């Protein structure tokens, strides 16, 4: 099998006395959609943050395409092609939608003089197409902070696509989105995966969404990796059911 896009081996992270992740190991295979579930407080977001370099890990190793990245900083990891979206949607709220997308161009090869160049027309076109892709084309000149929460989520997703990442880590992409929009979002996530070839790694609480989306799933509980397998296997795993229902 090819090199995993993300390979986490025996990673532990604690905050003071709270052990958020304990000897967690997992893999994200290239080109696939991988899911991560677990009850609240089980350490999903901590694992995300560790992977993208938001905080140092206590022990273990994290590899991106075979390269050790656990000592790199957030920006360096982002420039390698690993991007994350936030659970609390984060956009540049005083800029308009087109500007939000434009500034999200990949910065991997940006040189010093690139800072002072303008955006060529192709990039503006591409930005508008991405806004069309997420259904925000008409609102592209509005200040993004004035959009609804769901629209901001879609904008954040379009920003991530503009960055052309190898892998995209999505922290609860459907949280707070109106149920009728969720189907559209699932469809767009799948298209991003198939058409743009972006590997996805998704934290999700909505079981219907994640079962639909993911090809392989991991379940965290109390900071430990509880189970992994196909959506069907996870659904029928007694340990996963117990974790969610609170049996210990």
Contact between 85 and 168 under an 8 Å Cβ cutoff? The reply is: yes
* Token duo for residue 224: 């430990």
| Nearer to another protein among residue 57 and residue 159 (C-beta) | 159
Shortest distance in whole angstroms from residue 197 CB to another protein = 19
Cβ neighbours around 121 below 10 Å, total: 8
**Which one, 118 or 248, has the nearer CB to another protein?**
118
| Residues engaged in binding another protein (CB under 8 A) | 52, 74-75, 78-79, 83-84, 86, 90-96, 99, 102-104, 106-108, 110, 112, 114-119, 125, 128-129, 132, 137-143, 159, 163
Are the CB atoms for 89 and 160 separated by under 8 Å? no
> Which residue number, 22 or 139, has a Cβ lying nearer to another protein?
139
Minimum distance of another protein from residue 99's CB (angstroms): 5
Question: Cβ 178 to another protein, closest distance in Å?
Answer: 20
Burial letters 159-196, b for 16+ CB under 10 A, else e: bbbbbbbbbbbbbbbbeebeeeebeebbebbeebbeee
The nearer residue to another protein, 140 or 216, going by C-beta atoms, is 140
Smallest distance from another protein to CB 140, Å:
7
Cβ 174 vs Cβ 209: under 8 Å: yes
């Amino acid at each position: 099998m090819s090199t995993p896009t993300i390979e986490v081996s025996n990673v532990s992270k604690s905050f003071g006395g709270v052990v958020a992740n304990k000897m967690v190991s997992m893999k994200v295979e290239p080109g696939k959609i991988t899911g991560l579930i677990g009850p609240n407080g089980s350490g999903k977001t901590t694992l995300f943050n560790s992977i993208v370099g938001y905080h140092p890990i206590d022990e273990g190793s994290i590899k991106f395409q075979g390269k050790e990245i656990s000592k790199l900083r957030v920006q360096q990891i982002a420039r390698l092609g690993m991007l994350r979206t936030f659970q609390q949607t984060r956009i540049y709220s005083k800029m308009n939608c087109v500007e939000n997308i434009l500034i999200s161009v990949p910065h991997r090869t940006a040189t010093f003089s690139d800072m002072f160049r303008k955006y060529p027309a192709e990039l503006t076109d591409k930005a508008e197409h991405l806004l069309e892709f997420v259904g925000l084309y008409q609102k592209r000149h509005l200040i993004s902070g004035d959009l609804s929460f769901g629209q901001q989520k879609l904008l954040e997703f379009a920003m991530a696509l503009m960055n052309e990442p190898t892998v995209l880590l999505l922290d609860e992409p459907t949280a707070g989105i109106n149920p009728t929009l969720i189907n559209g979002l699932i469809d767009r996530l799948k298209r991003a995966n198939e058409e743009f070839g972006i590997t996805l790694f998704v934290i999700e609480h909505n079981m219907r969404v994640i079962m639909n989306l993911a090809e392989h799933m991991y379940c965290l509980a109390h900071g430990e990796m509880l189970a992994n397998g196909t959506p069907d296997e996870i659904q029928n795993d007694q340990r996963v059911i117990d974790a969610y229902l609170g049996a210990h």
